[in-house]
Each structure stands twice: as C-alpha cells, then as structure tokens.
C-alpha cells in the first residue's frame, strides 16, 4: 500500500477548532448585546423618560445640598461604619485564630449570625429593639452613632474573615523569625504579621468600603431629620415633593461618583498584588 493511499485512508479533521468556537461564541454574544441595545433604543419612549427622570430645572435645584448635605452624610456614615467594623473585625479575627476554644466559638457564632442576617434587620434592631429593651438610653452620637454601630456590626463579620485569611496568608517564617529575635507572640503579631496581612487584604477591604457606602441607604429605617438625610433618603424626599424621579437619578449619579473611582482603585491594587506574586 502506497503512502498516498495511507494518506487518503486517514480520517480528516472536521469541525471548528477551540479558538474558532470561542471567537464564534464571542461574536454571537456581541450580536445579541447590540441587538438588545438597538431594540431598547428604538422601542423606548424617550420623551416620557426625559419628562420623568431628566428635568434639569429640578436637578439644578438640588445643588449644592445634594453634595454638601446628602453626599457628605453618606460619606460620614460609611466611614464611621467602616472604622467600627474594622476595629471589631480585627478583634473577632484574632479571637478566631486564638488557641482558646471559647474565643474561637464566640467569634464563629458572631460571624455566622451577622453574615446570615440582612443588614436591614440589623438597622431595625438598632433603631427599634434597642430603645424598647433599654428605655431612656441613647447611643452615643445619635443617628450617626446608630448608623456606625449598625454598619459596623455587619461589616465586622465580613472583615473578620478577610483579616483572618490575610493573617494566615503571611508565611509562618515571619512569625518564627520575630520570635527568634526576642519578640513576644503579641508583639510579633502586631509589629510583623498584621502589617503584612493588611497589604494582602487591602483590596477586599476597599471593596467592603464600597458595599458599606451603598448599605448606608438603610439609614432611612432609623428615622432621620432633614439634616441627617443621606443620598437615598434625600432623593426619595425630593422625588415625593416634586412628583418626579429626577432626584432619584441625581442621587444615583452621586453614588457612582464615589463607587466607580473606588472600584478602579480596587482593580489597580489587585493587579499590583498579582504582579508582586509573579
């Protein structure tokens, strides 16, 4: 049998290669996306949308209060909750890593409870249940203190696990080297391990800050004064007053004004962390 005959008898490859299939799939997705955008653009009643969401006279009336009042309060609520959550999360993370059994159990119970409950229920508990259980008592800081406590309790459960993972990611040799230099376990943890852990967990902590910024909208369930309103409450109140949704749109844009840059920062930090590993 000749070589030519052998070649003819060999089965020929049919069908598309993996790369061609990926390109075809990606192209089909683009086509579907463009078709959906075109269908929305053609079918939407832009006149009604503009009348309901883009009344620029109403939008102009929101300034500067939407920045100097609503956005300022939103940032203050977020930062206060982040500080409380970070401090409490650090304590819970160390308890989680403790060699003492009851500490680990308490930390585990806290994490499971507050990660399992919606943040809304925590706000209602702080705003309603606590005053009923302890009549006459006031949380320090008024509304700001309540928001910081509610956001902090929720954030601490997530931050604790993030911090614990960061501490465990630090090579054990770092701790052993510190101990060989005469550092006590506590001093080695504070001076050597935790600073390195924070460099590892900085991106997820920043992402948690973004989530807290959005969760601050739950402050409306605490009952706030006009001067204590954050972006969502401010937008809802003006939307009710003007019978128009433009304030909601402006409030949403203010959220994006903060969350998009923070998201970019998170991606940059993650990229740098991956480069450092390589």
Interval 42-86: pLDDT, tens: 888 888 888 989 899 999 999 999 999 999 999 999 999 999 999
- 152: in domain: yes
Report the C-alpha gap between 98 and 263 in whole angstroms: 33
- 45: in domain: no
State whether the Cα torsion 131-107-175-194 is positive or negative. Answer: negative
Domain at 219, CATH number? 1.10.3720.10
Confidence at 276, pLDDT banded by 50, 70, 90: low
Predicted confidence (pLDDT) per residue in 74-100, tens digit: 999 999 999 999 999 999 999 999 989
Predicted confidence (pLDDT) per residue in 229-241, tens digit: 999 999 999 999 9
DSSP state of 225: -
- 11: in domain: no
- 216: in domain: yes
Give the count of domains, the chain. Answer: 1
Helix or strand (DSSP H, E) at 126: none
pLDDT of residue 176: 80
Q: Where are the beta strands (DSSP E) in 60-217?
A: none
- 34: in domain: no
Confidence at 123, pLDDT banded by 50, 70, 90: very high
Are 110 and 157 within 8 A, CB to CB?
yes
Nearest to 166 by CA among 200, 137, 139, 204: 200
The answer to whether residue 156 scores a pLDDT higher than 80 is yes
Predicted confidence (pLDDT) per residue in 10-36, tens digit: 555 556 778 888 888 888 888 999 988
State whether the Cα torsion 169-173-178-183 is positive or negative. Answer: positive
End-to-end, the C-alpha distance of the chain in Å comes to: 54
Which of 15-24, 105-114, 268-277 shows the lowest mean pLDDT across its residues?
268-277
pLDDT of residue 131: 83
Which of 92-96, 259-263, 272-276 shows the lowest mean pLDDT across its residues?
272-276
- 19: in domain: no
Confidence at 148, pLDDT banded by 50, 70, 90: very high
Structural domain of residue 243, as residue ranges? 64-269
pLDDT of residue 3: 52
pTM greater than 0.85: no
- 39: in domain: no
């Amino acid at each position: 049998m000749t070589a030519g005959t052998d070649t003819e008898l060999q089965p020929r490859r049919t069908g598309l290669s993996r790369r061609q299939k990926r390109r075809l799939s990606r192209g089909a997705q683009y086509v579907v996306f463009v078709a959906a955008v075109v269908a929305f653009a053609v079918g939407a009643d832009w006149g009604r949308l503009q009348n309901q969401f883009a009344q620029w006279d109403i939008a102009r009336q929101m300034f500067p209060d939407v920045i100097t009042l609503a956005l300022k309060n939103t940032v203050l609520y977020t930062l206060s909750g982040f500080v409380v959550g970070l401090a409490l999360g650090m304590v819970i993370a160390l308890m989680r890593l403790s060699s003492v059994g009851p500490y680990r159990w308490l930390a585990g119970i806290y994490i499971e409870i507050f990660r399992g409950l919606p943040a809304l229920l925590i706000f209602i508990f702080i705003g309603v249940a606590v005053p009923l259980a302890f009549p006459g008592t006031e949380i320090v800081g008024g509304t700001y203190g309540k928001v910081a406590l509610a956001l902090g309790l929720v954030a601490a459960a997530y931050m604790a696990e993030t911090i614990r993972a960061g501490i465990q990611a630090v090579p054990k040799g770092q701790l052993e080297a510190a101990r060989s230099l005469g550092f006590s376990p506590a001093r080695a943890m504070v001076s050597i391990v935790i600073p390195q852990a924070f460099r590892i967990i900085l991106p997820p902590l920043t992402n948690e800050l973004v989530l807290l910024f959005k969760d601050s909208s739950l402050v409306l369930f605490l009952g706030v004064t006009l001067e204590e309103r954050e972006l969502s409450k401010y937008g809802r109140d003006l939307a009710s007053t003007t019978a128009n949704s433009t304030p909601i749109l402006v409030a949403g844009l203010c959220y994006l004004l903060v969350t998009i840059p923070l998201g970019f920062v998170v991606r940059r930090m993650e990229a740098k962390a991956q480069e450092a590993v390589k």
